[in-house]
Structures are given as structure tokens and as C-alpha cells.
Amino acid sequence: MAFALVTGANGFIGSHLVERLLAEGHRVRCLVRAASDRRWIQDLPVEFVVGDVTDPVTLPPAVAGADWIFHLGGAVKALDEAAFVKINAEGTRHLAEAAVHQGTRRIVLISSLAAAGPSPDGHPLGEDDPPRPVSAYGRSKLAAEEAVFRSGAPAVVLRPPAVYGPRDRDVLVFFRMAARGLALIIGDAKRPLSLVHVSDLVSSALCAATETDIEGRTYFVSDGRIHDWIGVVEALGRALGRRPRRLKVPSPVLGLAAWIEERRAARTGGRPLLTRERLREFRSGAWVCDGSRASRELKLKPPVALEQGLASTAAWYRENGWL
């Protein structure tokens, strides 16, 4: 049994990781902000420490005694690059330095394919390909990777592509539209992309914490298949028992929606649901990666197939009144 600290524990991926750690008999401590929504983990037998990776003073109590640190906390949406850097890059540096001081056995940083950037030629990226992030988010995640390795901590980095599964709100709009008989088509519907189910990412994180002789390694994690959006929306329709009609959203409409969201977030102090930079990122190339190294070196089990993953996600949405 190990003692694990999880940052971002209250989020979509983090809550699934916490549940898996508990199911396998580990003790879990969750670093949360005072205002964090804890709905998925509030009633679990975990220890809570209130703090923030951007405030180094709050971190020693969080990392004290932890064998493993799973760092999932960070900003996915922000209004400017400085905010991304402060939370994703500097926050990771603070956490890694605290872990080194406390003698943590392993840090697993959940980064992103965005740190590597899109494939320039459509072929899946490998870990040895030079990173070319095309967004402020991607640059901040690459800086986070560099920070955790520079700290001297025994770290492993995982770079997932788009993650989906129960509790995910980012893809919920596509499920809701498909349930109404519409398949939203954004950009080039034939552009290749990689995906990973949340349960597979969680399994990869646990293997990254326990495998020996992998410190300093970076791994792409995916379901091992290359998809395109047409195939995804058709599979989504089958998961919902529908044959949705394709609806292509014009680029100007998306750009206007992103601008409105940015203005709303700036006015209210909230996070934008869509930004113009995320749109540019989406349109910039093929978001594909090769997860074979992770499968071999982390000894991963066969991944969840897209059809199965979408069906289980749709079932969860229905059971919880989201569809």
C-alpha cells in the first residue's frame, strides 16, 4: 500500500484516479483549493489539504509523507499566456521542488499532446520527435515537463491526447447534439486524431508510478487507433441508437462564439468555454500520437475500444441525467 497525493483530484480525470487508488488499497490525499467543487470525491475516504500549486507555502503539508504524487491540477482554459505559465509551468515547478525536499519516490505528471503539438505530416508523433507546441496552453505544458525534470525529482510524464469518459463535460455537447439527431462537424472532418478513455489514462498513471527504471521518461498514451471526426460521430450515433445528420459549423460562427466567450469570461472572472486560441490549435494539424512505447514499457493492458468507451460514457450521462 502506498500513500498518494493527487492534485486536480476533484476534476474529471483526477476523480477517476482517486477512486482507482482507493480500490487498490492505497491511501490518498487530495490537494484542493478552498473553492474547489468536490462533488465527485467529497464522500470518499481521503484526506483533504487546502492549497494551491501557485502558492509554494501551502505545498509542504500536502507532499509530506507522500510516496507518489500524481500532478493533474492545472489550467486548460485561460485568457492569456501569463495565466497558463503561472499555473501550469510555475505551479509544477513549485510542486516538484517541494517533492524533492520531502523525498517523494515518484511524480507522475499528466501533461498533454498539446505539449508536443500536432503532427506536421499526419503521421503519429513519437516521443523522440521534437515538440512543436502551437498554443499558449501547449507551451505551458511543455514548460511544466521541463520544470519537473529539471527539479531532479524522480518523474515520469504522460502525454494523453483528447480524453473522454464519464463525468467529462468537454464532449458532452457532442453527445447532446447526437441525441437530438445532429452531428456537429467542426473543421476538417477527415483530419486524423488520437483519443484515450479515462480509465486507460488512469491505468497508465498507476503503472507509471510503479514501474522501475523509467524515471525521466515521457510517454504518449492513447487507445492505439487513429480516428477521424466522421468516424467518431458515427460511433457516437451508434452508442445513442441514432443516425445523426451532419451539421458543419462555419468557421466564422465558431470564431464569433469564441470571441463572445472570451468577453464573457473577462467580464465575469470565469473560465471561457471556448477561446480563439483553442480554435487555432484545433485547426492547426493532425493531433495524433503513437502510444506503443507506453504499452510496452508500462506493460499496459489492451485499451478500451472507441465503441465501448462511447457506449459506457453515454450510459453514464443518461443514468446521471446529463442526456
Domain ranges of the chain: 3-161+198-222+288-303
pLDDT on residue 271: 62
Letter for the amino acid at 254?
L
- Convert the pLDDT of each residue in 35-77 to its tens digit: 999 999 999 999 999 999 999 999 999 999 999 999 999 988 7
270 pLDDT higher than 70? no
Q: What Rg, from alpha-carbon coordinates, does the chain have?
A: 19
User: For residue 273, what pLDDT band results from cuts at 50, 70 and 90?
Assistant: low
Give the rounded percent of residues in the chain with a pLDDT score beyond 90: 75
Give the rounded percent of residues in the chain with a pLDDT score beyond 70: 94
Concatenate the DSSP letters of all residues of 40-70 into one string. Answer: TTTTSS-EEEE--TT-GGGSHHHHTT-SEEE
Q: Nearest-5° angle of CA 18, CA 115, CA 134?
A: 140
264 pLDDT higher than 70? yes
Cell numbers found for residue 47: 484526506
Q: Is 241 exposed, middle or buried (0-12, 13-18, 19+ CB in 10 A)?
A: exposed
Cell numbers found for residue 111: 501533461
- Convert the pLDDT of each residue in 104-119 to its tens digit: 999 999 999 999 999 9
305 pLDDT higher than 70? yes
pLDDT on residue 157: 98
| d(C-alpha 144, C-alpha 293), whole Å | 21
pLDDT on residue 268: 74
Q: Is 21 exposed, middle or buried (0-12, 13-18, 19+ CB in 10 A)?
A: buried
Q: Which residues of 204-239 are buried (b: 16+ CB within 10 A; e: fewer)?
A: bbbbbbeeeebeebbbbbbbbebbebebbbbbbbeb
Q: How far apart are the first and last CA of the chain?
A: 38
- Residue 218's nearest CA partner among 131, 145, 152 is 145
- Convert the pLDDT of each residue in 141-197 to its tens digit: 999 999 999 999 999 999 999 999 999 998 898 899 899 988 877 777 788 999 999
219 pLDDT higher than 80? yes
Q: Which residues of 106-129 are buried (b: 16+ CB within 10 A; e: fewer)?
A: bbbbbbbbbbbbbbeeeebbebeb
For 3-161+198-222+288-303, the fitting CATH number among 3.40.50.720, 3.40.50.150, 3.30.70.1560, 3.20.20.140 is: 3.40.50.720
SS3 assignment, position 123: coil
